[in-house]
A = this chain, B = another copy of it.
Amino acid sequence: MTKPDTIGSIGENESLRRTISRLNPATSALVGPGDDCAVIAATDGSFVVTTDTMVEGHDFKPYWSSGFDLGWKAVATNLADVAAMGAKPTAITVALVAPSDTEISWLEAFADGLKAGCEALAPGCGVVGGDLAAGEQIVIAVTAHGSLEGRAPVLRSGAKIGDIVAVAGTLGRAAAGLALLQSGNAGAISAYDDLVNTQLRPNPPISSGIEAAEAGATSMLDLSDGLGRDAARIARASGVSVSIDEKQLQGFEAVLEQAAQAIEADPKLWVIGGGEDHSLLATFDANSQIPRSFKPIGVVIEAGKAEVFLGGKPLNEQGWDSVRG
C-alpha cells in the first residue's frame, strides 16, 4: 500500500491547488483566488467584515468533527456574524494551519465543507482567498464579508426600552449535541443525531438577518455564546436590561426534553446557556411588524440590577470564554 498524500509531502502550492479547485466561486468576486489579493464588489460603497477562529482541542475535537464538518462550521459561524449586521454574505477568506502529516483527503473534505456551507447558507458567497501553513494543531481562521445592500447596519447598541426581544433559529440544540457527544452514550448519540449534527454543522438563519434589518430591528447579534451571555451584550451596549419570559422558552426546551432525559441533563441550561446554534437575537420596536422567522421571547426594560432577567429574576451570565474555557 502506498502512503496517502499529506500536505507536507506534496507541499503548499499543490495542496492549495487541489483545494481551491473544489470550491465554488463567489459571485461578487471581480478577481478570484490566485493573485496577491482578491477583488470583491461592494456596490453600495461599503462592506462588513468579521473574523472568527476555531482551534483543535479547544473549539473542536478531531474525533468528533470531520474535515467536512469543520469547513461547514467555519463558514456557518462567520456568516452568522455577517447576518447579524443585516448584511448579505459575499466572500470569505480562510487561513488554515494544520500539522504537515495531515492527509490531503482531510483537506479536500474541509474544502467540500466550505463549499457546501456557502451553498446551503448563503448562495453566491464563496471562498476568495486563503493561506495554508504547518503547525502543531489545526487552527481555522475565517474572515467573512458581506454587503448591506444599502441598508443601515444593525448594531448591538440600539435596543430601546419597550422593544420586543426575539430570536430567529433554534436555542440549545448545539449545546445538547455537545452534551450528547461528551456523554459517550452511543445509543443516545445515535437516537438524537439531529442535535449532534447541529453542534457539528450548525444552520444559522442567515436570511433572517436581512429580514430583521428590513423590518427595522433596533439591535441584533448572533447567539454564539449562549442566550444569557449574548443578551447581556445587547443590554450593555444599549444601556438597558433584557427581560426574558420563561414561558416563551418552553417550546425550545420541549424539543430537547427526551435527549436531556437520556443523558440526565437539564434542557433549560442548554436553552439559556448554550451557544453555537448561531441563531439571531434581535430587538424590534413594539409597534413594528416582526418577521415571521423571529419568535418573541421577552422585552427590553430600563437598566436594572442585572443585565438580563429570566422570569423576573436576575440571570447570571452563562456561556463560554474562548480562552478560559
Contact = CB atoms under 8 A, between A and B. Distances in A.
Given A84-B37, A141-B95, A156-B36, A135 B55 contact: yes
Indicate the member of A35, A156, A221 with the most B CB atoms within 10 Å.
A35
Interface string A249-293: 000000000000000000000000000000000000000000000
A153 B222 CA distance: 35
A153 B13 contact: no
A81 interface: yes
A144 to B, nearest CB: 8
Contact of A55 (B12, B94, B97): B97
The number of times this chain is found in the oligomer is 2
B36 A129 contact: no
Contacts of A35: 85, 153, 155-157, 221, 237
A7 B136 CA distance: 20
A3 B58 CA distance: 25
Interface string A67-83: 00000000000000110
Nearest to A152: B39
Interface stretch (A44-52, A210-218, A296-304): A44-52
A321 B11 contact: yes
A117 to B, nearest CB: 18
B153 A37 contact: yes
Interface in A46-66: 46-59
Interface string A128-168: 11111111110101010110100001011100000000000
Contacts of A45: 41-43, 45
B129 A50 contact: yes
A111 to B, nearest CB: 16
Contacts of A7: 323
A228 to B, nearest CB: 15
B37 A146 contact: yes
B55 A93 contact: no
A42 to B, nearest CB: 4
B137 A136 contact: yes
A12 B145 contact: no
A322 interface: yes
Indicate the member of A40, A59, A146, A156 with the most B CB atoms within 10 Å.
A40
A290 to B, nearest CB: 20
B322 A12 contact: yes
B50 A324 contact: no
Interface of A: 7-8, 11-13, 15, 30-31, 34-43, 45-59, 81-82, 84-85, 87, 91, 93-95, 97, 100, 128-137, 139, 141, 143, 145-146, 148, 153, 155-157, 220-222, 237, 321-325
27 contacts: A12-B321, A31-B48, A31-B153, A34-B237, A35-B85, A35-B157, A36-B222, A37-B50, A37-B82, A37-B84, A37-B153, A38-B49, A39-B85, A42-B45, A49-B128, A49-B129, A50-B129, A51-B129, A52-B131, A53-B131, A59-B133, A95-B143, A100-B323, A100-B324, A134-B322, A134-B323, A139-B141
